[in-house]
Amino acid sequence: MTVSDDVETFAAAVGPEPDAVLDEMDDRAAETGFPTVGPAVGGWLQQLVGLVGADRVFEFGSGFGYSGYWFARGLGADGELVLTEVDADELADARDYLARGDFDATVRFELGDAIETVDDYDGPFDVVLIDNEKHRYVEAFEAAREAVPVGGVVVADNITAGPFDFGEIYDRVLEDGDEGGEAARGVADYLEHVCSEPAFETTLLPLGEGLAVSRRVT
């Protein structure tokens, strides 16, 4: 289940105007097929930082820094953004893009496993983005939950679409060996887990590949 191209285009047009660096990053994603959240979701992430009044953001999985760049645009000069990535070349590219946007003083770049990295930081994190391996989404949520204050949010990407069309995610979890089966099970497990958490209130944002937005309420 994916959002139509017309809706995506309209949402991007309504959202914040990208700059030249973001345009370059979008071109790179289009040319290489690298999965990013896209400008419609990116503008929403920038808006979310302002709505929450976030001072600190942590990403589980950052690629070449696309979502991080949108987050950085919403943070104040004293804010902190932690990007994590297991690919050294992608993290180096993220550092270059963020520096070109004049956000390098705001950002920490961590090479390695995000779930291990988050333990090195004391909270709070007002916004957490989960975009690492889908079968580790629950693990990432549990690693970060105590660092999220009341009013803070956890955002998980790829909820309605990923390497294939998830469709009715609760009703159709693929068999072992099927392409994307582990990812589908990971997303289904995550939704079941986070929706059963009384401390968090979860809603779905049907843009891009779908985001589950979980606000800490207690």
| Domains of the chain and CATH, by start | 5-216 (3.40.50.150)
Q: Say if CB 108 and CB 57 are below 8 A apart.
A: no
Distance of alpha carbon 16 from alpha carbon 127, whole angstroms: 19
Give me the phi and psi of 72, to 5 degrees please: -60, -35
Strands 211-216 and 153-156: antiparallel
- pTM > 0.85: yes or no: yes
Q: Does residue 171 surpass a pLDDT of 80?
A: no
Confidence of residue 166 (pLDDT cuts 50, 70, 90): very low
The dihedral over CA atoms of 89, 117, 190, 51, expressed in degrees to the nearest 10, equals -90
Cα–Cα distance list, 96 to 29, 69, 141, 192 (Å): 16, 11, 28, 38
Mean pLDDT lowest among 9-18, 142-151, 156-165, 206-215: 156-165
Tell me what percent of the residues of the chain surpass a pLDDT of 90.
74
Mean pLDDT lowest among 45-49, 80-84, 163-167: 163-167
β-sheet bridge partners, residue 56: 80
Burial class (CB in 10 A: 0-12, 13-18, 19+), 62: buried
Confidence of residue 104 (pLDDT cuts 50, 70, 90): confident
Helix (H, G, I), strand (E, B) or coil at 199: coil
Rg of the chain in Å (alpha carbons): 16
- Please enumerate in sequence order all residues whose Cβ is within 8 A of that of 136, keeping only pairs 6 or more positions apart, or say none: 115, 186
For the stretch 67-92, pLDDT in tens is 999 999 999 889 999 999 999 999 99
Distance of alpha carbon 216 from alpha carbon 218, whole angstroms: 6
Confidence of residue 9 (pLDDT cuts 50, 70, 90): confident
β-sheet bridge partners, residue 111: 85
- Please enumerate in sequence order all residues whose Cβ is within 8 A of that of 88, keeping only pairs 6 or more positions apart, or say none: 111
Which H or E run includes 38? helix 38-52
Cα angle for residues 71, 207, 46 (degrees, 5° grid): 15
